[in-house]
A and B are shown apart, each in its own frame.
Chain A
Amino acid sequence: MKRIVGLMIVSGILIGGVVAQEKGGKVKKQESVRQEEVRELMKSGFSNDPRFAWKLNQDEAQKICSQYPSRESMPASAIQKVIELSTSGINYPQWGIYWGDWKEGKKLVESPRGGRFASYGFSDNPADKGGNCYACHLIEKGMPGGTMGPNLYQYGKRWNITKENMNSPETIEKLRIVYNIIYNSWSAFPCSSMPRFGYHGSLSPNDVANIVAFLLHPESPVNK
């Protein structure tokens, strides 16, 4: 029990680190134009090609997040609602949380491809998938990355995961926390900039497990 409390504190610290990076800004809910007008404007500005049209559908959480320029400006009730919406739909691999293949995870982390379609060229192939994680995160030592998200260098070490404890119940619980963040980042950080990769199906549960392994496995280059 004590260990679990300790774990919660650790994840609290990690979460705190990310919150500090979120954008500042005051609440400016615009009332001069109606939401329906905005929707109409957007509908009229996009191709109605069925390959793209489905992307126009906004889910409830996106609608809430669109109203606030940053999480700091959100009322507690809205934060609560986004967390509820986001925690309910997390799916796990068939056998539950497990150590994925970090080498497969590395490929997904590095690939910027997947989901970028346009009729005029520069499109990804429909089968392409990747997390493009380096766009926002620094991850492996020596690999250039962005600074929009937190630095993930030695992420597994920071969770105190070693070869000896890597199959303990506590460690598996840590895997679950990181899995949830990648599967649906808004379950931990409501309205975060980070895409909800698993929720939208951009990455499968096994893909997410592989990425978690890349970040946390003691043998992964991330933790060297």
Chain B
Amino acid sequence: MKKKLLLGIFATGALVGALSTKAIAQVEEELSPEEEIRLVQEFNRMLAEGINPGEIWYEVGKEAIKKYNLDKCDLGLGPGVFKGAAAQMPRYFADAGKVMDLETRVGWCLQKYAGMSKEDVLKFVRQCWGKTGNCVSEYDGIIMYLTMESNGHKINVNLKDPRVKRMYDLGKQVYYTRMGPWDFNCATCHAGKQEVRIRATKLWSADRPGEAGNAVSIFPKYLVRWGLPMTMHYRYAECMRQMRWPEFIPHSDLGVALSTYLYGLANGTEIKAPGIGR
């Protein structure tokens, strides 16, 4: 583990160096074919060597949890009990009176135990959004740490709880809602029996068994082209931007509903964070 981690730090250093010519870009450039090929090679090398720079965020998160008093945070198994906790979320929380997924719950705990306002939390969550290269966010670290504490545990969303089931149903409705100036819904890309590609990218489908599980169980997912791990709520925001939908607010009930539907579909899949992608 330690050796892997060191390798990871080394690899990130090299990557950041390679990317620094572009610095922290505000607009994601369309990649030239050469850059695209270089990224794919870099990605393949990391896969082959078992390197995942995303693991660095585990240590970042471990520190941040102490710093922000999140050892008091109850993810459903008791305050500070994190082993396997992420695997049983989203779930209903009596203290908040609502169903929450991991990220929303962390936001709730940051307000309660770290003295953050709602606005502070949003800023904290989105500090690396839209940035590429060398952006390390404590929030991403916290989510990485808490998810990796459930590695090896099977996703187990309790759909027998009617409050959870309701969020699942709402999430499913959202999944099929066609909206916006390009008429998309989630199912435009992620449904259907037949496998299709968007350019070179194979799309997973909610209609093909196991694929939703494979997709969500590796989040947060380290993205080689951005040099940072992408959490689920950042993924939702980016999907919706591509769909030409309005801008997504992280930790909203909309996010919780989508998580409940997707992790509900993924029930039984082992968590293996962080994943890695181009």
Q: Are A118 and B188 in contact (CB under 8 A)?
A: no
Q: Mark B12-47, 1 if CB is under 8 A from A, else 0.
A: 000000000000001110100000000000000000
Residues in A neighbouring B199, C-beta threshold 8 A: 134-135, 144-146
Q: Are B254 and A41 in contact (CB under 8 A)?
A: yes
Q: Quick check: is B248 within 8 A (CB to CB) of the other chain?
A: yes
A197 to chain B, nearest CB (A): 8
Interface size on B, residues (CB 8 A): 54
Q: Chain B at the A interface: mostly helix, strand, loop or mixed?
A: loop
Q: Quick check: is A24 within 8 A (CB to CB) of the other chain?
A: yes
Q: Mark A130-164, 1 if CB is under 8 A from B, else 0.
A: 00001110000000111110000000000000000
| Contact count band on A | 35 or more
Q: Mark A194-212, 1 if CB is under 8 A from B, else 0.
A: 1110001110000000000
Cα–Cα, bound, A49→B241 (Å)? 14
Q: Chain A at the B interface: mostly helix, strand, loop or mixed?
A: loop
Cα–Cα, bound, A49→B26 (Å)? 20
Q: Quick check: is B50 within 8 A (CB to CB) of the other chain?
A: no
Q: Are B246 and A52 in contact (CB under 8 A)?
A: yes
Q: Quick check: is B93 within 8 A (CB to CB) of the other chain?
A: no
Residues in B neighbouring A66, C-beta threshold 8 A: 176-179, 185
Q: Mark A176-198, 1 if CB is under 8 A from B, else 0.
A: 00000000001000010111100
Interface residue from A38, A53, A134, A191 paired with B177 (Cβ < 8 Å): A38
Interface residue from B26, B165, B247 paired with A46 (Cβ < 8 Å): B247
Q: Quick check: is B200 within 8 A (CB to CB) of the other chain?
A: yes
Q: Quick check: is B252 within 8 A (CB to CB) of the other chain?
A: yes
Q: Are A58 and B179 in contact (CB under 8 A)?
A: yes
A136 to chain B, nearest CB (A): 7
Q: Are A148 and B198 in contact (CB under 8 A)?
A: yes
> Restricting to B155-209, which residues have a CB under 8 Å from any CB of A?
165-166, 169-170, 172-174, 176-185, 187-189, 191-194, 196-200, 203, 207
Q: Are A196 and B242 in contact (CB under 8 A)?
A: no
Q: Which stretch of B52-60, B124-132, B268-276 is in the interface?
A: B124-132
Cα–Cα, bound, A37→B183 (Å)? 21
Cα–Cα, bound, A33→B183 (Å)? 22
Q: Are A30 and B246 in contact (CB under 8 A)?
A: no
Q: Are B28 and A24 in contact (CB under 8 A)?
A: no
B47 to chain A, nearest CB (A): 21
Q: Are B26 and A121 in contact (CB under 8 A)?
A: yes
Cα–Cα, bound, A168→B247 (Å)? 47
Cα–Cα, bound, A36→B254 (Å)? 14
> Restricting to A7-57, which residues have a CB under 8 Å from any CB of B?
21, 23-25, 30, 32-33, 35, 37-38, 41-42, 44-47, 49, 52-53, 55-56
Pull 25 A–B residue pairs with CB atoms less than 8 Å apart, ordered by A: A24-B192, A24-B193, A25-B191, A25-B207, A32-B165, A33-B170, A33-B173, A38-B174, A41-B174, A41-B253, A44-B252, A45-B253, A53-B246, A55-B245, A56-B179, A65-B178, A118-B130, A118-B237, A118-B241, A122-B27, A122-B238, A147-B197, A194-B183, A200-B181, A202-B181
